[in-house]
Amino acid sequence: MASPQASTQSMHQVLCFALAGEAYGIPILKVREIQAEAVITRIPKAPPYMPGVINLRGAIVPILELRQRFSLGSAPEDTRPVIVIVEVQGRTIGIRVDAVSDVLDLDPAAIKPPPELGAQTQLGREFIAGLASQPGAPGAADQGDGAMLILLDLDRLLSDGELLSLDSATA
């Protein structure tokens, strides 16, 4: 018989992906699909973290380059980026990542708040929804509790002004 606590807390499913050697996760309910091969059409005067748009079955979808957005540098030449199509504040956008790994079930109690890292961090704390231990991850055996999974808050990746500029670019 399940304990009352287990029945009231449901597991959170997250899609895990790699970016600059780190593991990230986003809520699976925000993910629409994954595109391994997509041609990005560049948009003039777009910021570096918005390299362009793709045509997804007739819909124009703006792309967000997470390496640029988080100031993580360019991907190595042998990397084959993947575009994850997600829903952000009622808009469909694509986020380009290094690789998608798997879907994990996370216990909400295992998700820790983001640490205070100071103002000079590359990945702004405002983008991080939480951190979770990733048991069974490569290298986890020699790291004690496992590698950390950085959980992103997709609704805070872009400011209201940036979202408006996306709307005008895809109109």
Q: What is the CATH number of the domain that holds 84?
A: 2.40.50.180
Q: Which domain holds residue 120?
A: 4-170
- Predicted confidence (pLDDT) per residue in 45-83, tens digit: 888 888 899 999 999 999 999 998 888 888 787 778 899
pLDDT at residue number 5: 44
The number of distinct structural domains making up the chain is 1
Over range 90-106, report the average pLDDT.
Answer: 92
Q: Would you place residue 95 in the very low, low, confident or very high pLDDT band (cuts 50, 70, 90)?
A: very high
Q: pTM for this one? A: 0.79
With 80 as the cut, is the pLDDT of residue 160 above it? no
Residue 168 CB neighbours (<10 A): 7
Answer whether 154's CB lies under 8 Å from 27's CB: yes
Answer whether 20's CB lies under 8 Å from 98's CB: yes
The better pLDDT of the pair 128, 138 is held by 128
Encoded amino acid at 63, one letter: I
pLDDT at residue number 51: 87
pLDDT at residue number 157: 81
